[in-house]
Amino acid sequence: MSVKFAVLGHGVVGSGVVELFYKNRKSIEKRAGTEMDIKYILDLRDFPDSPYKDKFTKDFNDILNDDEVTAVAECMGGVEPAFTFVKACLEKGKSVSTSNKELVAEKGDILLAAAKANNCNFFFEASVGGAIPIIRPLHRCLAANDIDKVAGILNGTTNFILTKMYNDNMSFADALALAQKLGYAEKNPTADVEGHDACRKICIISSLVFGKHIYPSSVFTKGISEIDLADVAAADILGHAIKLVASVRRLDDGRILPAVMPMLVPHENIMAGVNDVFNAVLVYGDGIDQAMFYGRGAGKLPTASAVMGDVIEAVKHKVTVFSQTWTSSDDNSFVAPVNELCTKWYFRVPADCESVAEGAYTDENGISFITEENLSFDEAAAKAEKLNALAFLPVLD
Ligand code: HSE
């Protein structure tokens, strides 16, 4: 018997899923233990030159009402209509594999419950870290650990931009345009640049690790749009690289502290060497100490690789994988505010008497900066105001 699946969306990722499936069909079928084929590709646009043009439909009901379709790859992006489509598929017992971070971060609890109720699976390996296997390792290979901290570079576009600024002195705008041209950025790059995409990904990781749904609205999120080439240069003098770090840690009282913000990462920290579109996730657990997962965090085939891996899992698993789940939560009291983050801070300051009195260092290009240990977020903001700081950033410990 041949298993039939459908692909929702034929954009960068969806077209990558189709391409990768037909490229590696023989080995995919061997690993799935069954013959497979794509029966439908859903997209409102026409693709008259596609070799798969006979598979396209504009009507989701063709897929929903076809009992031969038992698995679906959702690569549309956005919450709606993806949520309605995915929920309807799960309620019909069709397993869904998605690359849609926004969908999982906003509605993951509901969709996981729908999958469980209908004895199928909602998989989302591609929603975090592109090609990097991180979701399945977290709930399977590392299942014996008490994981208390995860920190990572979870957005390829911003890492690409920061790398271009550092290596090539490229302006922020030029680097963003190049990332968009290469297909890394979201449709609206604000989600990348302002940290919302990384926020969704750390919400997914946090929900999976700590077992309760963490909503993006409860996570402090700051992007990289205010990072100046002067900060990149100053950080380098200090022996650091600037990275957009998404992290979550469990505090002593059991609450968790998730946050997304640009940080100075010491050159000796392995994350400082993660460049271009690559992502990295560092997981800290009592058994493993730490483990790092590294790979391409965005792009057509890297993301399609993760989606297709999930489709193969969905074909192989006839029952719900119960280790990959979390519960709904309407009480946010277990999420600590960002002010409880106490760390070292960097301030870029005007080269005036006030900053000199505070002990600022001025380099040969006239960039002045200063650092201070052990400040909370509010204390750092107050100090920045006192110094008339042009920028201030936390330092990763
Ligand atoms: N825009 C995202 C990124 C795509 O740059 O990481 C992958 O999620």
Nearest to 392 by CA among 334, 348, 360: 348
Percent of the chain topping pLDDT 70: 99
Helical packing angle, 101-117 and 196-210, nearest 10°: 30
Q: How many CB atoms lie within 10 A of CB 328?
A: 11
Amino acid 100: pLDDT: 98
pLDDT for the residue 362: 81
Q: Tell the burial category of 397 from Cβ atoms under 10 Å away from its Cβ (0-12, 13-18, 19+).
A: exposed
Q: Six-digit token pair at 313?
A: 């899992």
Measure the CA–CA gap between 65 and 88, rounded to whole angstroms. Answer: 10
pLDDT (0 to 100) of residue 353: 61
Residue 301 in contact with residue 130, Cβ under 8 Å? Answer: no
Number of Cβ atoms within 10 Å of the Cβ of 386 = 12
Is ligand 1 within 6 A of the CB of residue 305?
A: no
pLDDT tens column, 332-387: 899 999 999 999 999 999 877 666 667 777 887 778 889 999 999 999 999 999 98
Ligand 1 center from residue 78 Cα (angstroms): 13
Annotated catalytic residue: which of 94, 107, 201, 222? 201
What atom in ligand 1 is closest to the CA of residue 179?
A: 5
Q: How far apart are CA 262 and CA 158, in angstroms?
A: 10
CA 397 to centroid of ligand 1, rounded, Å: 25
Residue 294 has pLDDT above 70, yes or no: yes
Task: State in Å, rounded, how far the first CA of the chain is from the last one.
Answer: 54
Q: Among this protein's residues, is 187 annotated catalytic?
A: no
Query: Is residue 150's pLDDT more than 80?
Result: yes
pTM over 0.85: yes
How long, in residues, is the chain? 397
Percent of the chain with pLDDT over 90: 90
What distance in angstroms lies between residue 323's CA and the mean position of ligand 1's atoms? 26
Mutate to test the pocket of ligand 1, among 124, 197, 200, 301 (most ligand atoms within 8 A of CB): 197
Which of 184, 190, 194, 204, when mutated, tests ligand 1's pocket best, judged by the most ligand atoms within 8 Å of its CB? 184
DSSP letters, 142-166, are TTTS-EEEEEEE--HHHHHHHHHHH
Beta bridge partners of 42: 8, 57
The pLDDT of 155-159, averaged and rounded, is: 97
Q: Give the amino acid at 61.
A: N
- 174-195 confidence digits (pLDDT tens): 999 999 999 888 878 999 999 9
pLDDT for 381 equals 96
Q: Is the CB of 127 under 6 A from ligand 1?
A: no
pLDDT computed for residue 397 by the predictor: 82
In short, whether 307's Cβ falls inside 6 Å of ligand 1 is no
pLDDT digit string (tens) for 82-129?
999 999 999 999 999 999 999 999 999 999 999 999 999 999 999 999
- Rounded distance, CA 200 to CA 215, Å? 8
Q: Are 241 and 268 in contact (CB under 8 A)?
A: no
Region 255-282: mean pLDDT is 97
The pLDDT, as a whole number, for residue 4 is 98
Q: What is the pLDDT of residue 356?
A: 67
Q: Which tens digits make up the pLDDT trace of 197-237?
A: 999 999 999 999 999 999 999 999 999 999 999 999 999 99
Average pLDDT, the chain: 95
Q: Which residue from 97, 167, 128, 103 is spatially nearest to 280, judged by alpha carbons?
A: 128
Return the number of other C-beta atoms located less than 10 Å from residue 377's C-beta: 19
Q: Is the preceding peptide bond at 81 cis, omega within 30 degrees of 0? A: yes
Ligand 1 neighbourhood includes 297 CB (under 6 angstroms): yes
Does ligand 1 lie within 6 Å of residue 194's CB atom? no
Query: How far is the C-alpha of 14 from the C-alpha of 17, rounded, in Å?
Result: 5
